[in-house]
Amino acid sequence: MTTAPYLIVIGGSAGGLHPILTLLPGLVASLPAAILIVLHRQSHYESVLTDLLSAKSTLPVKEASEKEPLLPATIYIAPADYHLLIETDHTFSLDDSEKVNFSRPSIDVTFTSAALAYGGRMTALLLSGANTDGTEGLIDVHDAGGTTAVQDPATADSDYMPRQAILHAPVDIILQPSEMAAFINRMAEV
């Protein structure tokens, strides 16, 4: 079983679900990358979120599991109340340590571990949210040679997270939700 040669990590909080639902229908079914979605959410929404995203996507959607390999053309969701890390062998690791930026899963934790595992073969996309989670991780992705993208704050339900990222991290591109699917499809071409 060959793991995904490229990784797209999408992080969001308050208001982050809307752009995800907008971009999913536009993703190509043969996407050679794995997509990992990290959303701040309550644990009792687990099955509802998977079902909701599956209804909008031609790609399979599943919650990430411990030691599971990242496969191409698959969308993974970070489980509620666990930090999701990417190991250097391109498998998942779940961690229930302290919250980071008041969040578990933390976008920063996932972005940073993905940068260590994938280096320049990854893209991090930060969406709407009300805290600074994701900014430090974007810096790590950039420093590892990956691509960093942020939702246009003018289109975000909660613009604090993308604004902080733009102010404090190297951001390669600022995207409207309507541009995100085409951007992901381009970045995944390896």
Clarify whether 40 is annotated catalytic: yes
Catalytic residue chosen out of the listed positions 40, 57, 83, 158: 40
Clarify whether 13 is annotated catalytic: yes
Clarify whether 168 is annotated catalytic: no
Catalytic residue chosen out of the listed positions 57, 108, 128, 133: 133
Q: For the residues of the chain, what is the DSSP string, one character each?
A: -PPPSEEEEEEE-TT-HHHHHHHGGGS-TT-SEEEEEEE---GGGHHHHHHHHHHH-SS-EEE--TT-B--TTEEEEPPTTSEEEE-TTSBEEEE----BTTBSS-HHHHHHHHHHHHTTSEEEEE---SS-TTHHHHHHHHHTT-EEEEE-GGG-SS-HHHHHHHHHS--SEEE-HHHHHHHHHHHT--
Catalytic residues: 13, 40, 133
